[in-house]
Amino acid sequence: MAFQLRRLALALGFVIVIGIALVALLAPWITPQDPFLQNLDARMAPPSFMDGGTAAHFLGTDQLGRDYFSRLIYGARISMLIGVLVVVCSGLIGTTLGVVGGFFGGRIDAVVMFIITCRLSIPLILVALTVVAFVGSSLTVVVLTLGLLLWERFAVVARTTTMQVRNLDYIAAAWAAGCSRPYILLREVLPNIVHHLIVVATLEMALAILLEAALSFLGLGVPPPLPSWGLMIAEAKDYMYFSPWVILVPGIALFVLVLGINLLGDGLRDRLGATRDA
């Protein structure tokens, strides 16, 4: 029963993430309308399934009369793009640091630990504020800021798992076989910690997407008129008492995506950890 529930959760997460990724990729072909096209005559139109809704706008329009459904679809692009790019960037930094520290130990490990501690003492939102104040906000700035800051969990997990693997006999056998250090790191250590890193990657991806939304909400994220879900929530907050769907729609989308990513990560950890180990 519990097993089937887990499989169901993994399948659900998989469907959500793949579905939203497909929607993001195919955005230009599946949006019914131009997400940037303003029509002040048709502002704040309710969704088609509510009273007063029209078939032209499935999820209604926003305060500038832009088609809300099209903006939501393009927003998926921004969220997925930020999620993936931030995870790739922070994953590379964190895994490299963690594996090197855990594998070599001693003084190198002490340096890695110091860098991790330094990173942990930096408040993320404050850094983002400062960066935006200096260079202005753009998609690149958001990706770089988050990518260069969100690596600490990768580093911690990569370091501890590497330390566990480092002392196993197959690593000793690889040393005795005359393998080089890079070979041992890449072929013997990394494949045996990667399932832990995949879980971290999903957590970080969800976190990055939420942080982008938070930054956009504060006006520090992607600049308008790009349709980020966080920005949509920020713009909707003035109207939520009169037309609650404008804040509900991007909010629910964000919730579903983050839930999907987390379900996928949890499920993958169980599967990857269990199938190949004895």
User: 52 or 273: whose CB is closer to another protein?
Assistant: 273
For the bound state, the minimum distance from the C-beta of residue 185 to another protein, rounded and expressed in Å, comes to: 13
For the bound state, the minimum distance from the C-beta of residue 199 to another protein, rounded and expressed in Å, comes to: 16
Separation between Cα atoms, residue 51 and residue 56, nearest integer Å: 14
Which residue in 127, 123, 124, 100 sits closest to 112, CA to CA?
100
Here the tokens at position 100 are 């090197």
Q: How many CB atoms lie within 10 A of CB 28?
A: 11
User: 123 or 182: whose CB is closer to another protein?
Assistant: 182
166-195 mask for another protein (x: CB under 8 A)?
--xxx-xxxxxxxxx--x---xx--xx---
Separation between Cα atoms, residue 46 and residue 231, nearest integer Å: 19
Contact between 152 and another protein per CB under 8 A: no
Tell me the residue type at 148.
Answer: L
Which residue in 260, 270, 266 sits closest to 200, CA to CA?
266
Task: Tell which positions 75-134 bind another protein, by CB under 8 A.
Answer: none
User: 2 or 177: whose CB is closer to another protein?
Assistant: 177
Here the tokens at position 71 are 């903006």
The site that binds another protein (CB under 8 A) totals a number of residues, namely 20
Here the tokens at position 208 are 């990055």
Q: How far apart are the first and last CA of the chain?
A: 23
Q: Which residues are bridge partners to 61 per DSSP?
A: 67
For 70, 83, 86, 123, 263, the CA distances from 126, given in Å and listed in that order, are 32, 20, 18, 6, 30
For the bound state, the minimum distance from the C-beta of residue 193 to another protein, rounded and expressed in Å, comes to: 10
For the bound state, the minimum distance from the C-beta of residue 98 to another protein, rounded and expressed in Å, comes to: 18
For the bound state, the minimum distance from the C-beta of residue 141 to another protein, rounded and expressed in Å, comes to: 38
User: 114 or 170: whose CB is closer to another protein?
Assistant: 170
For the bound state, the minimum distance from the C-beta of residue 5 to another protein, rounded and expressed in Å, comes to: 25
User: Which residues of this chain interact with another protein, rule CB under 8 A?
Assistant: 168-170, 172-180, 183, 187-188, 191-192, 276-278
